[in-house]
Structure 1
Amino acid sequence: MSPRSSAAPVILASDLDRTLIYSANSMALTGSDNLAPRMVVSEVYDAAPLSFMTRAAEELLAAIVEQGIFVPVTTRTQAQFARVQLPGAGRGYAVTSNGAVLLYDGEPDPGWSHHIRRSLAGHCAPLSEVLAHLTGSAAVPGILRVRTAEDVFLYSIVNRHELSAGYLQDLAAWCHERGWSTSLQGRKLYCVPVPVSKETAVAEVRRRSGAGLLVAAGDSRLDAGLLELADIAIRPAHGELHSDGFARANLMVTAASGVLAGEEILRFMSGVLAESMSPVAGVPDAATPAVC
């Protein structure tokens, strides 16, 4: 990492689900229950706790939001993101809807929304055409339900065992011809207009904020572009990118997986932030995950 001006703030952009916050089923805890880390609830849905992080992770994040520009970056819609309660919630920038919506102090930025609409109109087939392709005569039994997000992109709940590789390749080619991309992640198949991406929105936040160093974290294929954009990137040792063996020169991989990887990511970001404020900037030696 090259030295940066101390006057330029550091931007720390992170995916949420299975990067910083975890459902009960995704924690991947091992060992005796009495040795489990202390947890805090990060999301409540239908009056029940849904997502968690370790207490140590929340404390690390609380310090990070006071020292750098922390940007939550998620494929969640605005309504889904609003359920997540993290330190600094409602302050500064946040990216939702995979980059289609840029929030500032909790409100959508109208200039960014106009930019997205103009980009889609000029380069992409309308959402209705892609929706009709997924649900009309070309529909296959493996696609169980199709949902729209912010009237910008689509995601389908799928039975992966009933989706052939040939169908996914044909769908990807069909979407590509119309300015869309596809991504299969777990039981969700995303169809997203190419101009809508996490990295494009984060690049805009970086431009507006005048930030220097960009540190990013994510676990899914929709995070790949963000990790490539970053000066320093880190991903957990789980998720689609881990299964893909995703590796870059700027990329670190956590030693832990599951909810403890989220804590490790924030500890690493905290170390980078502290190092950036020292006279000689560099990746911190302490708690540095393995280079991938």
Structure 2
Amino acid sequence: MTTLIATDLDRTMIYSRSAMELAAGEKDVTDPAAQDDLLCVEVYDGKPLSYVTTAAESMLRRLADTTVVVPTTTRTVAQFQRIELPGAPWRYAITTNGGNILVDGVPDEGWRSDVDAAIAAGAASLSEIGDELARRVDDSWVRSSRIADELFSYLVVDVDAMPTGFVEDWDAWCSDRGWGASRQGRKVYTMPKAVCKSRAVAEVRARLVKDGVLEQGTSVLAAGDGALDAAMLSKADAAIRPRHGELEALDWQHPSVAVTDSSGIAAGEEILRWFWDRVECGAGSTPAASPL
């Protein structure tokens, strides 16, 4: 095989009801007439939570049969494992923003040890960061606070009530201590700089080349919508982001990163078609027919 696809999940491949909204003039998938076009891929507390379209399901399964697809998410191991993503089982998956590599569903202890060592060598401790964060927030706008796999923290916030400039000020304080902060929807992440998706993708690629699954010159294609995806997108041979999300709000651009024409769940289909064209034809070739 000559292609590895590393794709973010939430608001890139899979969508909650609140994330499905499309740009004006496009088909409204929340309309009752469109419900047959949706497949639930995640149930939480007995309630359906995340979806793909049936067209996206078909394309993702076919891509997984054709090339190496590596789900690459900021979700924790447990949060990832509750998704029934079309195309599974996955030989490799990346969770916790690159802090964990799953091999046949099991976290790789060697990789996690290396990540922990890198954090210890170049960043403040999670407890130090947590203590300072606690001094800066309050319950008037923070709905909950979580620690993700003992690697980083995130807040669920009321965006409208959050103090203006909080994320920027917090990021500046963290930056001098080997950490960074960013917002994705209602979540504000505080992340060690040593924990990044791009490093984990490079590791998975190297392992697959060593095992003979991928050729030495294998290219990496990537997709993602958030600031935490930016390094992965820019370091891929080619990448695409949806016309929504944090990177869209920042008007983030890169020469090798395309942007979808559509937004919302329709962008998920467009990203998969973009992957399909490049896997089937390669750069510069005439696009293949869509596998729909």
Same fold (TM over 0.5): yes
Q: How does 1:147-158 map to 2 (within 5 A)?
A: 147-158=146-157
Match of 1:207 in 2: 206
> Once the two structures are aligned, what percentage of the paired residues are identical?
42
2:240 to 234, 237, 242: 234
Task: Kindly report which structure 2 residues correspond to 1:179-258, keeping only aligned pairs within 5 A, or say none.
Answer: 179-210=178-209, 211=214, 212-258=218-264
| Residue-by-residue CA offset, 1:118-141 (whole Å, 9 max, x unaligned) | 1011111110111111114x4344
Q: Would the aligned equivalents of 2:70 and 2:90 in 1 still touch at CA under 8 Å?
A: no
| Aligned amino acid, residue 222 of structure 1 | L
Give the match for residue 4 of structure 1: none
Quote the offset at 1:170 in angstroms. 2.9
User: 8 Å contact 1:234–1:251 — kept in the other structure?
Assistant: yes
Q: Is the CA contact (8 Å cut-off) linking 1:267 and 1:287 kept in structure 2? A: no
Equivalent residues in 2 for 1:27-46 (5 A)?
A: 27-29=20-22, 30-31=27-28, 33-34=32-33, 38-46=37-45
Q: How many residues align?
A: 276
Alignment match of 2:15 (pick from 19, 22, 35):
22
Q: Quote the offset at 1:91 in angstroms.
A: 2.3
Q: Does 1:173 align with 2:175?
A: no
Q: Is the 8 A contact 2:155 2:188 kept in 1?
A: yes
The alignment's TM-score, normalised by the length of structure 1, stands at: 0.88
> CA 1:61–1:125 in 2, change beyond 3 Å: closer, same or farther?
same
| Kept in 1: contact 2:154–2:187 (CA 8 A) | yes
Tell me how far apart the structure 1 counterparts of residues 85 and 69 of structure 2 sit (CA, whole Å).
Answer: 11
- Secondary structure at the aligned position of 1:160 is classed as coil
Separation in 1, partners of 2:5, 2:180: 26
Deviation at 1:164, TM superposition (A): 3.4
In the TM superposition, what are the counterparts of 1:67-106 in structure 2 within 5 Å? 67-106=66-105
Alpha-carbon contact 1:146-1:155 (below 8 Å) kept = yes
CA distance in 1, matches of 2:45, 2:77: 17
CA RMSD between the two structures: 2.0
SS at match of 1:56: helix
The reply to whether residue 272 of structure 1 matches residue 270 of structure 2 is no
- Match of 2:160, SS state, is helix
Inter-partner Cα distance in structure 1 for 2:232 and 2:226: 10
Tell whether the 8 Å contact from 1:268 to 1:287 is kept in structure 2 after alignment.
no
Q: Retained in 1: the 8 A contact 2:40–2:51?
A: yes
Tell me the CA shift for residue 34 of structure 1: 2.7
Distance 1:270 1:37 in 2: 24
Q: Contact 2:167–2:188 at 8 Å: present in 1 too?
A: no
Give the match's secondary structure for 1:234. Answer: strand
- Preserved CA contact (<8 Å) 2:183 2:246: no
Partner in structure 1 of residue 130 of structure 2: 131
Q: Which amino acid aligns with 2:3?
A: V
Are residues 1:282 and 2:271 paired?
no
Moved >6 Å (runs of 4+): none
2:202 counterpart SS class:
helix
Q: Deviations over 1:185-221 (max 9, x none)?
A: 2221110000001111111111111241111001111
- Length-normalised TM-score, structure 2: 0.88
Distance of aligned partners of 1:258 and 1:204 in 2 relative to their CA distance in 1, 3 Å threshold = same
Name structure 1 gaps, 5 residues minimum.
Answer: 1-7
- On the 8 A contact 2:98/2:197 being kept in 1, the answer is yes
